[in-house]
């Protein structure tokens, strides 16, 4: 009986979705007819209607995944069918309720019984009478079950036991209470999320953006929110995920993108993989570590302060006439709230306006210097010289741009040139053994290390100010363990009006030669303790058997142990390396239904040595460091090259081991 009722409700909602789809198609046609002569309005309406239409079509065969029945203290009853994106009819009535709506928090966090949640009107109390989750496939109701908390093992386990393709289809329906708590943190809070491998850091990060966009839409546009990701592959991934969460215009950049956009000067970066390969070959990383530190920031700042003090180097003169005294220049140059170039521009604007307004007075003043001599002299040659000099003065006075440009020429150059000058004069400020020649060569080629970017951005901030970044009110930073303190300093200052959600895992800080050592430094030094450190320590990716093995690696270096969701699978297998053994194991996994398999080697050298010619459909051959952030049904880790006495090697091994969902095979010597 209940199944029939829910089936009928599903069909009713699907029919409503169909009707709304038709209505939006009509609205698009009407907009084309009525507003085509108004391009701005036309474009806005078409985008709005198309987004709604796309979302309806995406959801029509899976219009909801949950239900809550709530009775408040005023005896008002609400039956809410919860969906990925909420849908309203033309009258504004909820057909389905968005998972991001305040009342939907009951679905993720609360048991049946007495509950409360915070709505726009304030604290709402009442009774949660029912919580139900549905399995709907291709528009048909398969089953449903009533549960207490969404983290119920029997509810979540079937989802986690799926292969990758199926796991990614409806993440919203399986958000866990500890994840939901982070997603729904207030906008005004700064948070660092230390998330174990497989804890859903990126998922939580993207859903947090979606949640904030939804709940702050009356105050802020979508592009006021910013996601900073580690690389172009990540950005491509989130570009495909966010629209599915009803988010279309959130700003999305890598740190390098931000640097290039901000500098207005194209910078190339030495490939991180290339550097890591060299590090694995025992390259000295002390300079990289130094440049990522706040000590380097202090040295850059000292250099800038020296430049700042030398800006006013006497009065501004035209020939032998003082146009502006030092104290006049100081009134503008001492405005520390502005960047150096901004201050110079302000003075330049004032100076040109002043000259234009008082041009005749200045000319007369200059003439008065020679007036008496001219009038009393009997030397015609000397009188001509005076006339020539005054005429030259008058001509030059009209070219104020040139006079000012010459006075400030050492302070209005591009940041890269300033950075080059800084490196050239580095010895004045520090005796650190910086390889000056190599650094200058890289700067001239506009190809820098990742560790150079903070200094370059900081120089730009000090010289050109904080333009174009005021609009951002929240920044989500993923894979944040790979940034150094200097990186954090410039990011915090670049987006000075924003709050931050910072996601990372110290156990996966494989670029440790340039990154932070702990979150407490970020908290105390960068945020002055105005930021929370929150754990996401339960891994939903791997089985208990895989996580237990990986935890043995992470605990060796004091990174703690991730909790594993109670899902079991085969024990981690160990086998001796041979090409035959490897190919047989791959074939075995494929025969057992796994279509997404990875063979993970420590480095490019390892790939070349052991598996360079492995070419099997559905099998990815990848280095340990490039596997970070990815997941596979099964992983075969070639572990014979990992040095157990080396922390970087152990971090890479930990990363490799925690990519597997279901089975992990370790190939040993």
Please list the residues that pair with 124 across neighbouring strands: 117
Q: Is 557 helix (H, G, I), strand (E, B) or coil?
A: coil
Q: What is the 3-state secondary structure (H, E, C) of 287-299?
A: HHHHHCCHHHHHH
Q: What is the pLDDT of residue 528?
A: 97
CA distances from 109 to 93, 94, 99 (A): 25, 22, 12
> What percentage of the chain exceeds 90 in pLDDT?
66
- For the segment 363-373, the average pLDDT, to the nearest whole number, is 91
pLDDT tens figures, 509-543: 999 899 998 999 999 999 999 999 999 998 888 99
pLDDT tens figures, 248-269: 899 999 999 988 888 878 889 9
pLDDT tens figures, 599-634: 999 999 999 999 888 888 889 999 999 999 889 999
In 3D space, the residue among 552, 634, 645 whose CA is nearest the CA of residue 585 turns out to be: 634
| Residues ≥6 apart with Cβ < 8 Å to 4 | none
In 3D space, the residue among 188, 218, 226 whose CA is nearest the CA of residue 470 turns out to be: 226
Q: What is the pLDDT of residue 9?
A: 95
Positive/negative CA dihedral, 385, 390, 391, 396: positive
In 3D space, the residue among 633, 503, 551 whose CA is nearest the CA of residue 200 turns out to be: 503
Q: How confident is the model at residue 468 (pLDDT cuts 50, 70, 90)?
A: low
Q: Is 130 helix (H, G, I), strand (E, B) or coil?
A: strand
Per the model's pLDDT, the better-predicted residue between 238 and 362 turns out to be: 362
Which own/partner pairs from 294-297 qualify as long-range (CB within 8 Å, at least 24 positions apart)? 294/485, 294/486, 294/489, 294/525, 296/454, 296/455, 296/486, 297/454, 297/455, 297/458, 297/486, 297/489
What is the secondary structure of 435-483 as a DSSP string?
-HHHHHHHHHTTEE-GGGHHHHHHHHHHHH-STT-TT--EEEE-SGGG-
- For the segment 140-156, the average pLDDT, to the nearest whole number, is 69
Is it the case that residue 444 has pLDDT exceeding 90? yes
pLDDT tens figures, 205-221: 999 999 999 999 999 99
What is the secondary structure of 71-98 as a DSSP string?
EETTS-EEEEEEESS-EE-TTS-EEEEE
Q: What is the pLDDT of residue 161?
A: 52
CB–CB of 650/556 below 8 Å? yes
CB–CB of 654/554 below 8 Å? yes
- For the segment 546-562, the average pLDDT, to the nearest whole number, is 86
In this structure, the dihedral spanned by the alpha carbons of residues 306, 311, 315 and 316, taken in order and rounded to 10 degrees, is 160
Q: CA–CA separation, 284 vs 298, rounded Å? A: 23
Q: CA–CA separation, 605 vs 290, rounded Å? A: 28
Q: What is the pLDDT of residue 154?
A: 46
Q: How confident is the model at residue 240 (pLDDT cuts 50, 70, 90)?
A: confident
Q: What is the pLDDT of residue 298?
A: 97
Q: How many CB atoms lie within 10 A of CB 399?
A: 11
Is it the case that residue 102 has pLDDT exceeding 70? yes
Q: Is 501 helix (H, G, I), strand (E, B) or coil?
A: strand
Per the model's pLDDT, the better-predicted residue between 466 and 196 turns out to be: 196
Q: At what angle do helices 39-59 and 2-35 cross, to 10 degrees?
A: 160
pTM of the shown model: 0.88
């Amino acid at each position: 009986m209940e199944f029939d009722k829910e089936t009928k409700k599903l069909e009713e909602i699907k029919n409503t979705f169909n009707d709304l789809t038709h209505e939006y198609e009509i609205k698009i046609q009407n907009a084309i007819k009525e507003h085509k002569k108004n391009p701005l309005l036309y474009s806005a309406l078409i985008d709005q209607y198309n987004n709604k239409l796309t979302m309806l079509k995406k959801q029509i065969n899976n219009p909801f995944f949950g239900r809550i029945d709530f009775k408040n203290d005023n005896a008002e009853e609400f039956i809410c069918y919860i969906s990925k994106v909420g849908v309203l009819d033309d009258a504004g009535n909820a057909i389905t309720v968005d998972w991001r709506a305040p009342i939907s928090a009951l679905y993720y966090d609360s048991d049946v019984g007495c509950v409360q949640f915070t709505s726009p009107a304030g604290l709402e109390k009442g009774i949660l009478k029912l919580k139900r989750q549905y399995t709907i496939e291709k528009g048909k109701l398969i089953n449903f079950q009533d549960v207490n908390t969404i983290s119920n093992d029997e509810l979540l386990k079937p989802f986690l036991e799926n292969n990758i393709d199926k796991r990614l289809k409806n993440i919203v329906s399986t958000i866990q209470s500890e994840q939901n708590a982070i997603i729904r943190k207030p906008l005004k809070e700064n948070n660092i999320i230390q998330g174990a491998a497989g804890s859903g850091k990126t998922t939580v990060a993207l859903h947090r953006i979606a949640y904030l966009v939804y709940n702050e839409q009356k105050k802020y546009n979508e592009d006021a929110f910013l996601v900073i990701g580690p690389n172009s592959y990540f950005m491509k991934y989130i570009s495909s995920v966010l629209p599915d969460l009803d988010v279309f215009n959130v700003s999305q950049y890598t740190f390098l993108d931000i640097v290039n956009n901000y500098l207005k000067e194209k910078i190339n970066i030495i490939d991180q993989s290339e550097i890591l390969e060299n590090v694995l070959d025992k390259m000295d990383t002390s300079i990289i570590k130094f440049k990522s530190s706040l000590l380097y920031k202090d040295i850059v700042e000292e250099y800038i302060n020296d430049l700042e003090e030398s800006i006013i180097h006497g009065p501004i003169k035209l020939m032998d006439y003082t146009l502006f005294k030092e104290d006049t220049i100081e009134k503008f140059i001492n405005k520390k709230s502005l960047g150096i170039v901004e201050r110079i521009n302000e003075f330049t604007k004032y100076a040109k306006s002043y000259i234009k307004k008082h041009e005749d007075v200045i000319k007369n003043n200059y003439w008065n210097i020679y007036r008496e001599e001219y009038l009393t002299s009997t030397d015609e040659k000397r009188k001509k010289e005076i006339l020539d000099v005054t005429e030259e003065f008058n001509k030059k006075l009209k070219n104020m741009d040139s006079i000012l440009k010459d006075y400030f020429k050492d302070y209005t150059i591009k940041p890269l040139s300033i950075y080059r000058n800084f490196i050239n004069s580095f010895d004045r400020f520090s005796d650190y053994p910086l390889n000056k020649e190599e650094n200058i060569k890289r700067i001239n080629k506009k190809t820098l290390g990742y560790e150079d970017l903070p200094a370059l951005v900081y120089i730009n901030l000090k010289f050109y100010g904080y333009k174009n970044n005021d609009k951002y009110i929240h920044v989500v930073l993923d894979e944040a363990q790979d940034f150094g303190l200097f990186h954090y300093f410039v990011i915090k200052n670049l987006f000075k009006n924003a709050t931050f959600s910072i996601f990372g895992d110290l156990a996966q800080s494989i670029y440790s030669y340039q990154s932070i050592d702990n979150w407490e430094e970020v908290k105390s030094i960068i945020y002055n303790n105005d930021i929370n450190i929150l754990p996401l320590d339960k891994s939903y990716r791997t089985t208990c058997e895989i996580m237990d093995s990986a935890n043995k690696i992470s605990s060796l270096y004091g990174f703690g142990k991730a909790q594993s969701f109670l899902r079991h699978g085969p024990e981690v297998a160990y086998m001796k390396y041979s090409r035959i053994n490897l190919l047989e194991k791959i074939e075995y996994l494929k025969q057992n239904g796994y279509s997404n398999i990875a063979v993970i080697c420590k480095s490019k050298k390892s790939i070349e040595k052991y598996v360079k010619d492995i070419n099997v459909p559905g099998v990815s051959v990848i280095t340990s460091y490039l596997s970070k952030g990815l997941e596979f049904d099964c992983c075969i880790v070639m572990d014979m090259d990992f040095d157990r006495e080396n922390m970087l090697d152990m971090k890479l091994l930990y990363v490799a081991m925690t990519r597997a969902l279901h089975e992990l095979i370790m190939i040993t010597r």
